Structure 1
Amino acid sequence: MTSFWLGIAALTVLAMCFVLLPYFRARRALSQPQDVAVDRQAQNIAIYKERVTELDAELDAGNLSNDDHAGLKLELEKNLLNDVADLEALNGKPLRLTSQTLVTAILLAILVPVSAIAIYGEYGRVDDVTAMLNGEADPFNGQTPSMNEAVTELEARLSAEPDKPEGWFLLANSYMNMQRYQDAARSFARVLEFLPEDAPQFAGVQGQYAQALYLANENQMNGQIRGILDDILANEPYEVTALGLLGIDAYENQRYREALGFWRRAYDNAEPVQQESLRSGIESARQALIELGETVPELPELKSASLRIKVSLKPEIAASVSADSPVFIFARPVGGRVPLAAVRLTVADLPAEVVLDDSMAMQPQMTLSSVAEVEVIARVSSSGELRPQAGDLTGTISPVAVQQQVDILDLSIDHIVE
């Protein structure tokens, strides 16, 4: 930390020098003899006389007419008069350095570092800099701590520094993994104390808070939890965790159609892993409704698709690439550009059999099952990027029907991108 403040001091001195340097330069200039203007005037007169002598010689030699000679001489006289006027103006307004000038320079030199320190004190991160430069002692002596040890250490840090919302969030998720749901709920509540209600993360943390309370209450809904869920959905109608909890509660109370509605609303905004869980719930609710003799509309969420592909590299062109070159295998809509599912291998892995399915979707609403046909492409990338470039090796199968595709597709990388 000492070196940090020494660096700040050095920069401060440098900034003060930039402010004071013009004053001392002007002072030194005033202390020198004031004969510069005289010397310059004498030089101008000498140059004038020399040029007039040259013009007279040109006139005598017949190289200039009388009119040209008179015009050039007049021009020289004007230039000489202008130089003399400039020197007189300069000498008429001499530079003066008063005590007020010195005071102003000193005040500015002091104001610059004082202002900088004040601004840094308000907006800087001196505590973080101190921690980074000094380093914190490793409480585990280089050993990988157990979950209990890590949580105990985090609890101690938050006890000393309770205004760290990131720490409370990490602690809350750790408690959830340890099934300490009451503690998790308290930690999520602390996170919400720091988050403004219009923060984009607020609804998500609220959902996790409600989930922790629900699990702590032995998977039973109560007025507090329902009130939190209603508040979440009033501000974020598609918050996945809140909708998931309401769906579970409805299903447990045999309100299957209501559960189906909650889970379907959550499905579109869910991550792929969450979608798998929601899909199972939707299927269970659907089967329950069918067993009760109720009609159930077609549910696109239950449509799933997967493609099994055997990828090989044509031997005639295999020698042109290295074994560690990346190979991208992906499916995209016919004529489209955005992949619906993708896998990355290397040339050394070929030949290989891969599976592309809905769980590999890059966007929740763009899955294999969302289209009827795709084109399947394998590309050895010379640049390491998915975008094709000249010199890449590629192979394509198109079109491929997505639904009920049971055969293994044989895809050969057989030509070079021009």
Structure 2
Amino acid sequence: MLLWIILAVITAASLAIVLRPIARTRAEDAGRAKFDAVVYRDQLEEIESDLERGLISEIDAEAARIEISRRLLSVNGAEVGTETPDKGQRKAVAGKPQLLVAVVCALICIPVLSLALYITYGSPGLPGDPHAARLKKAPAEQQIAGVIARVEHRLRENPEDGTGWDVIAPVYMKFERYQDASAAYKQAIRLLGENAKRLLGVAEAEALVNNGIINETSRKAFEKVLKIEPSYHQARYWLAIAKEQDGRFDDAAEAWQELLSKGAGEASWRAQVEYCLAAARARLKTAEVSNSKQQDAACSEGGTRPQRGPTAEQIAAAQKMAPGARTAMISQMVGRLAERLKEDGSDLEGWVKLIRAYSVLGKRDTAVKALADAQINFKENSDALRALDTLKQQLELGS
């Protein structure tokens, strides 16, 4: 808010500077001309007085008369004294339309041009970073931020430095600046060529920019990664997610199983893959049950209901994952919970988890919508409505 106030003040000051000379009316100019005419007439009288006293010659007096008369004519018009105050006022009125056009053009053009320049060269979408919050950051984080700033400055001066783009791209990923990471990886590929690491980076960054949704371009990039380097399990992970998103749960389950068979037993992502495999099998089982209203109501192979949320082991495993993979894992879990609640809205605990998850992820509008959906589902249950109202107050989701 403070930024826009400053911009408004700067714009007002700029307009005042530009419009000040324009705002002078013809009437003001006529008044000044009248004053100048009085001065020039006094000078003519002084010339006559000096000539009578012999202070100047007739030739000098005549030259001075001609010069002063010329100036007098220039301020009074073609004939000295012919312009009346009414005529000057009419000229002032006649000049008002031109003045109005000039003022309107300035009021429109200057803010629009300033805004266009700011959008082009500025960063209007950059989140605020108050000074107090910056002071609370760890020294190591501040040092890394300084290094990033120096590298960015060097890349602005030398945008053809492929090594610089290749170095800063994974740093952007670590700090969850996925849009910047995608652009950096693309620059590195353009300048240094493709390899498995760069292709994986740009595909993963694009997927995270799209909130975990894998488009056709990213899918092809992941497939190309595996052709170059089959040991890159992250690419298999994302391709399995893509199959789930396409509704191909049988293929997704097969991909999860293959990933488990290729990964080491102590792999940090193993718990998450096991969870995804169980969820895919549960969906396949549900699809086989006719007239089912609950997507998770079908029994798993062991006869128990599939896990509704992540276990403690899965949460611990998520803490060890890379930021990109961890974000994808959380998005998948929240997405599955939201999908299940669409099918079965009677799970109050599930609604509470979903609303809290959206709030933690910073998706306030989505959390408010989920809260409204939950209240509709429990409109006949006063106890549930009280619990939801308490949650609303805790998370400050009120209007």
TM-score (norm 1): 0.31
Larger Cα-atom Rg: 1
Q: Which has the higher strand share?
A: 1
TM-score by length of 2: 0.33
Bigger fraction of residues in helix = 2
